[in-house]
Structures are given as structure tokens and as C-alpha cells.
A and B are shown apart, each in its own frame.
Chain A
Amino acid sequence: MRLLALSKRFELSKTTVASSLTLHVGIETALGGLIGVSLIFSPKMRGTAVGMLDKISGYTTLLSLACIGILIGTLFLIPKVSTHTREFLKTLTLLGQHSRLWMDVIAGHILLWICQGFAFFLFIQSFASVQWTNAGVLTACFAFAWIIGFLSFLTPGD
């Protein structure tokens, strides 16, 4: 309701705002996931990253797939929700033609992740001396931890 009220105030449709927010969070999560998974290529952190990924058992994967299935089912089977989903997909198709926009958004998100990683590196630097060459690995560690926290259903988020 708050979203609807604010959208009307700025002469924006509810679908426009909801689509923008969904895409914004989706791109942020996907890029964060990519940066986090890049830890596997780091000789220092490879063991830890693989160990954490190994803990994701077959049962967890099955449960995740069931949750995704229920979510997709809800999106297309409930009439009121499916109308919004179709509108969102239509918007996504229209946006597909604007390559400059996608480049701007993706570049912006990559820079934001770098900025977050840099802030994390500086934070650690204030307590213990860390070499500047480790900044990349720390950025990936931060993204990895953020993604696990964000996608986890049980742990509290920020």
C-alpha cells in the first residue's frame, strides 16, 4: 500500500516501481554471486569456499528447488499475481532493446560491489595490518558472505 501511495504521488505506476526494484535486487544478487564464487579461483581461499559449497547437500538442493517451484507456481497460477508477472515479463522484453541502459546498470552494480569490498578492506585494515594485494580476495569474501546471508531463509539479514 505504501508503495502504491508513493508511486501515485510521483506519477509512476506500481508495476514500474516494482519491476525496477525487482530487477535492481536481482542484478545485485546475481553479480554478488558471481564475485563470491570467484573465490574458488583464489589459491588462498579455494579450500574454504569449496568446503562451504560442499555443505550444500542433496536435501538442501531439493528443498531449494521445491521453494523455487512453489514461487514460480504462485507467480503464474494466482490470477492477480500472474497479471503482474506478465506485465513484468513484458517490461523486461521491452528493456532488452536498451543495451546502453543494461551496461550502465551492470557497471554501476559492479562498482558498488567494489566499493563495498573496499569499505570492508579498510575496516579490517583499521584493526589488523592487511596487504593491499588481498583487497580482491576480501571483496569476494564479503560478496560470498552477503549472498549466503541474503538467500538464507533463517539467518537475520541487515
Chain B
Amino acid sequence: MKTLRQSLGYLIAGILLYFLVKPFGQTHTELKDATFQIHWGWLVGSFGAILFYWSAYLYPFATLLSGIREKHVYLRVAFTLFHLANITRYLPGRI
């Protein structure tokens, strides 16, 4: 039973991975003859800034949580709460 569940899990993961990678392949084919140039330095810098944003995003939430509770709340607690119970996912525009 466990092996069957494991195999089913791998199959679902494989299907999801296929649909995840497929658009990248299509984009690559479409843009193969395009003339624009990608400056990888700026692109990596942009991803770095986004990574920093998501790391720092929890700070105001943790500050509010500490203020309302009137006791220091650790950033890791805020991290767990925010990413596992993020109500904004269910707000308009996040359907």
C-alpha cells in the first residue's frame, strides 16, 4: 500500500513538473530568433532584490504581532504563521 502511494506521489509530481516546465520550453522556442539581449547581471540582481523583499516582508507583521500581544514574538514564529496561514491568499485579487 505504501509503495503504491509512493508511486502515485511520484507520478503526480512528474505530471506537475511536466506542466511546469512545458511553458518554459514553448517560450524558449518562440524567443529563439528574437533579437533582444538579456543582461544576466541585472536579472540576477532583480531576483536578489525579490528574495530580500520576501525575507524582510515578515518584519512589519512580526512587529504588529508583538505589539498586539504585548510580548516579543520571534521572526520564525511570524514566518510559520504568515506562510502557513496567509489570509491574503483568500482576499480579492488572489483567487
Binding site for B on A (CB under 8 A): 2-3, 6-7, 10, 12, 16-25, 27-28, 91, 94-95, 98, 101, 104-105, 108-109, 111-112, 115-116, 118-120, 122-123, 125-128, 149-153, 155-158
B86 part of interface (Cβ distance < 8 Å): yes
Given A16-B65, A115-B56, A153-B93, the answer on whether A21 and B43 have CB atoms closer than 8 Å is no
Minimum CB–CB distance for A108 against chain B, Å: 4
Chain A CB within 8 A of B5 CB: no
Residues of B within 8 A of A (CB): 36, 38-43, 45-47, 49-50, 52-53, 56-57, 59-61, 63-65, 67-69, 73, 77, 80-82, 84-88, 91-95
Nearest-neighbour CB distance to chain A for B85, whole angstroms, equals: 4
With a cutoff of 8 Å between Cβ atoms, the chain A residues found around residue B46 in the complex are: 119-120, 122-123, 125-126
Q: Is the CB of A108 within 8 A of B50?
A: no
Q: Are A150 and B49 in contact (CB under 8 A)?
A: no
Partner of B94, one of A2, A101, A157: A157
B93 pairs with A157, CB closer than 8 A = yes
Cα–Cα distance between A15 and B51 once the two chains are bound (Å): 30
Chain B residue with Cβ nearest A18: B87
What 10 new A-B contacts, CB under 8 Å, besides A16-B69, A126-B42, A151-B92? A6-B80, A7-B85, A19-B68, A94-B68, A95-B68, A104-B63, A109-B60, A115-B56, A122-B45, A123-B43
- Asked if A17 and B92 make an inter-chain contact with CB atoms under 8 angstroms apart, the answer reads no
Interface pairs (22), CB distance under 8 Å? A2-B84, A10-B81, A12-B73, A16-B68, A17-B85, A18-B87, A19-B68, A20-B64, A20-B68, A21-B86, A23-B64, A95-B64, A115-B53, A116-B53, A119-B46, A120-B46, A123-B43, A150-B91, A152-B93, A153-B92, A155-B93, A156-B95
